[in-house]
Structure 1
């Protein structure tokens, strides 16, 4: 008689149409199909487990869930493996978990806005959303390391649930924006909140991105791409979260030892759109140089080429870069190439040789050396971290 395939429950709040729900589900299904398991959507898995008597077989071999206290308690009583994928879970520190690395994504957002020449910053998030808290703290630290400050505002997680909360949230956002000194670099936790901030900027007659460069949310395309301006965001890799959660569950069902802490997966990369397509530098010479670098970084250009294009002495331009951006021209060119290479590695299957050539490194060995020096990992390791 053939052995029954493993049967796992998925408790992922799929009624919410967000990537952190649906894409996690898609990732679990990829692994489930590879293993020949059976998966069951059961948003009340804890209740299904509650009816299990001492002699009755468990309905599931394991559970992947946005874990609640009651699920954790019941699964522990039954010695049933559970993997949590909800960063704000009240039991996140008490059970095996898989999350995107929100500290890494927070720093990524800051580095992107800093690369645009911005020197004044603001954050908006939901204090009861653990993901927002991790990202904003990392964003603030990255900004402060460069000697700048960040004006932060917090709103309720369920700000849309009542008219009173909605109006209160609008007042909080208005008061937060009243303190801005343009141009600003802004990080907003949610894609929907990002749209609200864009609308508020329009109401004030502020331009996006010239006055307010905004990076928001976790790349919900419907909210990010329309209406214009489209909003820069980060692809967090939630499908990988689901895949790795299923892999970890398999390890636990085999009797494996749970990891000591949550498994953190690097975000796939920044998706740059119109809301940050701008260099906020008051120095016209440096701004022109940044625009030239952005358009030509794929070519074999160096500091002399940039200066020649602007008909200025290299030493003069170098001094202006150090004064305005606190870094030399060569470092700026290198950072632009690294950012583009990271996007290509995360979002395409192109060869390292072709990517290195097209972003301006010249050779895959040169790209390898820079990734090891700047990031501490190889391009292949970077790609592997951001793919299934």
Structure 2
């Protein structure tokens, strides 16, 4: 019998998305066979366990490690360990010859911007860290997708380590002061869900309503953060399972002697998981507001544009011209995007409906029409999107 390969996972698996990464590694190891994983215990002092880190692996007779590498000391230890290491951290821009697998942060920023633009916002904010590469990349993608709207982008950056040294009340007051300076309504992308939670808490200090005054979207789809926020938090969802799988695949090839020092895999996010913090369409024009509200209420009923126009109190021609001029898209394009968004939400449920039933529930005239619209909007078929979600959560 072959000697089992010992792989250490050196990052905080107590974080929900990190646990999903570990599951991706586990699934790859099960497929290969003969993998034994050494994992990081919860970083709670009361557990009596020390967190697994790179220094703790010195002298360990293992075969490889998957770690979060953030500084010079970490890089020095990688050289000292003498076995393959893959980096999961996007903290630094440079890789220093250590292969890396992570989320496509630039694309995550673009997806966040697209979601907020689709909600009708024209004033935007970003809250992140000034000295962290992944924060800079998310901001760059966000700004790029906003296009000319980026002229009204308000950015609040702090040193990442500063949050550990400031009292909560001081942090909330600083954020609240900045939030009160923003033009309303405004939509904010926070670098991750924990920062988004802090922004939401600061809104209460500032007397601002979410999402009526400020819509907020985070990053990572951390269910503990997102579902337990008030209101619940919309978030960009990593494909954490695939990140873990691809990291394991790199480690496997490196253990076989392949030089992958230049590898830098950026895995596309799964998409946006919509919740209450962005569940509102903003537009200063009352006709647009009425038309959108009617379309969203009648997604399943396949509303005719004549009926939408009557509800808004104008002719169909006037509605179409006004909608295009003020939102950059036709009413039909908005309706199709709303249907696809609803379909994605349903597919993210624990027990989603069948695809053919979903096509009916979203108001499409036929299943082929649903598939065509879904692919045109997302670049995937509904079945591909469903299978990707299943792979990530299995």
**TM-score, structure 1 as length reference:** 0.85
Which one of 24, 32, 40 corresponds to residue 38 of structure 2? Answer: 40
Give a deviation string over 1:258-300, Cα, whole Å, max 9, x none: 3854222222222222211112112122111111222222333
- Structure 1 window deviating more from structure 2 (146-155 vs 113-122): it is 146-155
1:21 aligns with 2:18: yes
* Contact 2:67-2:86 within 8 A present in 1 as well: yes
* Contact 2:173-2:202 within 8 A present in 1 as well: no
SS in structure 1 of the partner of residue 189 of structure 2:
strand
Match of 2:324 in 1: 322
Shift of 1:376: 4.1
* Contact 2:356-2:367 within 8 A present in 1 as well: yes
Shift of 1:38: 0.6
1:248 aligns with 2:250: yes
- Structure 1 window deviating more from structure 2 (226-235 vs 109-118): it is 226-235
> How do residues 286-305 of structure 1 correspond to structure 2 at under 5 angstroms?
286-305=288-307
Give a deviation string over 1:330-387, Cα, whole Å, max 9, x none: 1111211222334445556654433333323333432333344444444444445553
Shift of 1:174: 3.6
* Contact 2:130-2:136 within 8 A present in 1 as well: yes
1:334 aligns with 2:333: no
Query: Kindly tell me: are residues 376 and 24 of structure 1, through their superposed partners in 2, closer, same or farther at Cα, counting changes over 3 Å?
Result: closer
* Contact 1:98-1:264 within 8 A present in 2 as well: yes
1:124 aligns with 2:123: no
Distance in 1, Cα, partners of 2:213 & 2:327: 18
Query: Kindly tell me: are residues 225 and 379 of structure 1, through their superposed partners in 2, closer, same or farther at Cα, counting changes over 3 Å?
Result: closer
**TM-score, structure 2 as length reference:** 0.84
Match of 2:274 in 1: 272
- Structure 1 window deviating more from structure 2 (140-149 vs 105-114): it is 140-149
Query: Kindly tell me: are residues 254 and 342 of structure 1, through their superposed partners in 2, closer, same or farther at Cα, counting changes over 3 Å?
Result: farther
How large is the RMSD of aligned CA atoms in angstroms?
2.9
Distance in 1, Cα, partners of 2:270 & 2:159: 28
- Structure 1 window deviating more from structure 2 (104-113 vs 145-154): it is 145-154
Query: Kindly tell me: are residues 327 and 34 of structure 1, through their superposed partners in 2, closer, same or farther at Cα, counting changes over 3 Å?
Result: same
Query: Kindly tell me: are residues 361 and 255 of structure 1, through their superposed partners in 2, closer, same or farther at Cα, counting changes over 3 Å?
Result: farther
1:6 aligns with 2:5: yes
Distance in 2, Cα, partners of 1:344 & 1:267: 18
Query: Kindly tell me: are residues 20 and 93 of structure 1, through their superposed partners in 2, closer, same or farther at Cα, counting changes over 3 Å?
Result: farther
SS in structure 1 of the partner of residue 127 of structure 2:
strand
Gaps of 5+ in 1: 52-57
1:355 aligns with 2:340: no
Distance in 1, Cα, partners of 2:148 & 2:342: 23
Which one of 149, 152, 155 corresponds to residue 152 of structure 2? Answer: 149
Shift of 1:177: 1.8
Distance in 2, Cα, partners of 1:195 & 1:75: 34
Distance in 1, Cα, partners of 2:238 & 2:377: 21
* Contact 1:269-1:346 within 8 A present in 2 as well: no
* Contact 1:236-1:267 within 8 A present in 2 as well: yes
Match of 2:264 in 1: 262
- Structure 1 window deviating more from structure 2 (197-206 vs 210-219): it is 197-206
* Contact 2:143-2:150 within 8 A present in 1 as well: no
SS in structure 1 of the partner of residue 161 of structure 2:
coil
Query: Kindly tell me: are residues 312 and 91 of structure 1, through their superposed partners in 2, closer, same or farther at Cα, counting changes over 3 Å?
Result: closer
Distance in 2, Cα, partners of 1:384 & 1:148: 39
Which one of 219, 222, 225 corresponds to residue 221 of structure 2? Answer: 219
Distance in 1, Cα, partners of 2:262 & 2:382: 28
Match of 1:163 in 2: 166
SS in structure 1 of the partner of residue 163 of structure 2:
coil
Distance in 2, Cα, partners of 1:7 & 1:318: 62
Query: Kindly tell me: are residues 83 and 380 of structure 1, through their superposed partners in 2, closer, same or farther at Cα, counting changes over 3 Å?
Result: farther
